[in-house]
Chains A and B, each alone.
Chain A
Amino acid sequence: MVKVVAKTGNEAMAEAMRQINPDVVAAYPITPATEIVMIFAKYVADGLVDTEFVAVESEHSAMSACVGASAAGGRVMTGTSSQGLVYMYEILPIASSLRLPIVMCDVNRAISGPINIHCDHSDTMAAQDFGWIQMFSENSQEAYDGLIQAIRIAEDPRLRLPTMVTTDGFIISHCMDKIELLDDADVKNFIGAERKAADSLLNLDKPVTIGLIDLQDYYFEHRCQVADAMKNAKQVILEVADEFAKKFGRKYGLIDGYLLDDAEYVVVALGSTCGTAKVVVDEMRAKGVKAGLLKIRVFRPFPAEEIAAALSKAKAVAILDRSDTWSAQGGHVFTEVRSGMFDLKARPKMINYIYGLGGREINLEHLRQVFGDLQNVDKQPLVQYLGVRE
Chain B
Amino acid sequence: MDNTVEIRWHGRGGQGAKTAALLFGEAAMSLGKNIQAFPEYGPERMGAPVASFNRISSQPINLHCSITNPSLVVVLDPTLMGKVDVTDGIPKGGAIIVNTMMKPAEIKKQLGVAELKVFTVDASGISKETIGREIPNTPMLGALAKVSGLLDYDMMIKDMEKKLSEKFKNKPEIVKGNLEAIKRAYNEVHGE
Interface residues of A, Cβ cutoff 8 Å to B: 4, 6, 117-118, 139, 168, 170-172, 174-178, 272-273, 275-276, 278-279, 282, 361-364
Task: Tell me whether B71 is interfacial, beta carbon within 8 Å.
Answer: no
Output the least CB separation between B15 and chain A (Å).
18
Bound CA span A276–B37, Å: 16
Q: Are A272 and B29 in contact (CB under 8 A)?
A: no
Q: How far is the CA of A170 from the CA of B1 in the complex (A)?
A: 22
Chain B residues 52 to 91 lying within 8 A of chain A, measured CB to CB, are 61-66, 68
Nearest first, the 6 closest Cβ-Cβ pairs linking A and B are A275-B62, A363-B65, A176-B37, A272-B64, A175-B38, A275-B64
CA distance A111 to B128 in the complex (A): 45
Q: In the bound complex, what is the Cα–Cα distance between A178 and B39 (angstroms)?
A: 16
Partner of A361, one of B22, B26, B66: B66
Q: Are B63 and A279 in contact (CB under 8 A)?
A: yes
Instruction: Taking A178-B35, A362-B65 as given, write out 18 further A-B residue pairs in contact, using a Cβ cutoff of 8 Å, ordered by the A residue number.
Output: A6-B22, A6-B29, A6-B35, A168-B64, A170-B41, A172-B64, A176-B26, A176-B35, A177-B35, A177-B36, A178-B34, A273-B64, A275-B61, A276-B62, A276-B63, A279-B1, A279-B63, A282-B1
Cβ–Cβ contact A6 & B25, under 8 A: yes
Partner of A175, one of B34, B37, B62, B68: B37
Minimal Cβ-Cβ distance residue in A for B1 = A279
Binding site for A on B (CB under 8 A): 1, 21-22, 25-26, 29, 34-39, 41, 61-66, 68
A337 to chain B, nearest CB (A): 22
A5 to chain B, nearest CB (A): 8
Report B-chain residues with C-beta under 8 Å of the C-beta of A176. Answer: 21-22, 25-26, 35-38
What's the minimum C-beta distance from B163 to chain A, rounded to whole angstroms?
Answer: 11
A-B contact list, 25 entries, CB within 8 Å: A4-B29, A6-B22, A6-B25, A6-B29, A6-B35, A6-B37, A139-B64, A168-B64, A170-B38, A170-B41, A174-B41, A175-B36, A175-B38, A176-B21, A176-B22, A176-B25, A176-B26, A176-B35, A177-B36, A177-B61, A275-B64, A276-B62, A279-B62, A279-B63, A282-B1
CB distance from A269 to the nearest CB of B (A): 11
A364 touches B65 (CB 8 A): yes
> How close is B8's CB to chain A, nearest CB, in angstroms?
15
Could you tell me the distance between the alpha carbons of A178 and B27 in the complex, rounded to whole angstroms? 11
Task: Tell me whether A361 and B25 are in contact (CB under 8 A).
Answer: no
Q: Are A363 and B66 in contact (CB under 8 A)?
A: yes
In the complex, what residue of chain B is closest to A361 when comparing beta carbons? Answer: B66
How near does chain B come to A10, taking the closest CB pair, in angstroms?
A: 12
Contact B64 A276 (CB under 8 A): yes
CA distance A273 to B22 in the complex (A): 22
Q: Is the Cβ of A117 less than 8 Å from the Cβ of B41?
A: yes
A278 to B61, CA, bound (A): 10
CB of A42 to closest CB in B, whole Å: 16
Least Cβ–Cβ distance between B69 and chain A, in angstroms: 11
Chain B: which residue is nearest A172 at the CB level? B64
Q: Given the complex, which residues of A lie within 8 Å of B34, measured CB to CB?
A: 178
Shortest distance between the CB of A151 and any CB in chain B (Å): 26
Which of A118, A177, A276, A361 lies in contact with B41, CB distance below 8 A?
Answer: A118
Decide: B65 and A178 in contact? CB cutoff 8 A. no
Q: Judge whether B41 and A171 touch: CB under 8 Å.
A: no
Query: In the complex, which residues of chain A have a beta carbon less than 8 angstroms from the beta carbon of B38?
Result: 170, 174-176
A251 → B minimal CB distance (Å): 15
Docked pose: A173 CA to B33 CA in angstroms: 21
Docked pose: A256 CA to B61 CA in angstroms: 18
Shortest distance in angstroms between B75's beta carbon and chain A's nearest beta carbon? 21
Contacts of B62 in A (CB 8 A): 275-276, 278-279
Complex Cα distance A365/B47, Å? 33
Q: Report the Cα distance A117→B68, complex, angstroms.
A: 21
Q: Which interface residue of B35, B37, B61, B62 has the most chain A CB atoms within 10 A?
A: B62
* Chain B neighbourhood of A178, CB < 8 A: 29, 34-35
Chain B residue at minimum C-beta to C-beta distance from A275: B62
Which residue of A is nearest B34, CB measured? A178
CA distance A124 to B65 in the complex (A): 21
B-side contacts of A4, CB under 8 Å: 29
- A363 → B minimal CB distance (Å): 4
Kindly provide the distance from the CB of A71 to the nearest chain B CB, expressed in whole angstroms: 38
In the complex, the answer to whether A6 meets B64 with C-beta atoms within 8 Å is no
* A370 nearest CB across to chain B (Å): 14
Measured in the bound complex, the distance between the Cα atoms of B65 and A4 in whole Å is 24
Nearest chain B CB to A4 CB, angstrom units: 7
Query: Given the complex of chains A and B, what is the CA–CA distance between A177 and B22 in angstroms?
Result: 10
Query: How far is B61's CA from A117's CA once the two chains are assembled, in angstroms?
Result: 25
**Chain A nearest Cβ from B1, distance in angstroms:** 6
Q: How far is the CA of A278 from the CA of B26 in the complex (A)?
A: 25
Residues of chain A contacted by B21 (CB below 8 angstroms): 176
A355 to B61, CA, bound (A): 22
Whether A361 contacts B65 by the Cβ 8 Å rule is yes
A6 CA to B27 CA, complexed, in Å: 10
Bound complex: CA A364 to CA B63 (Å): 9
Chain A residue, CB-CB nearest to B4: A279
Q: How far does the Cβ of A114 sit from chain B's closest Cβ, in whole Å?
A: 15
User: Nearest Cβ distance between residue A14 and chain B, in whole angstroms?
Assistant: 16
Which residues of chain B come closer than 8 Å to A275, judged between CB atoms? Answer: 61-64
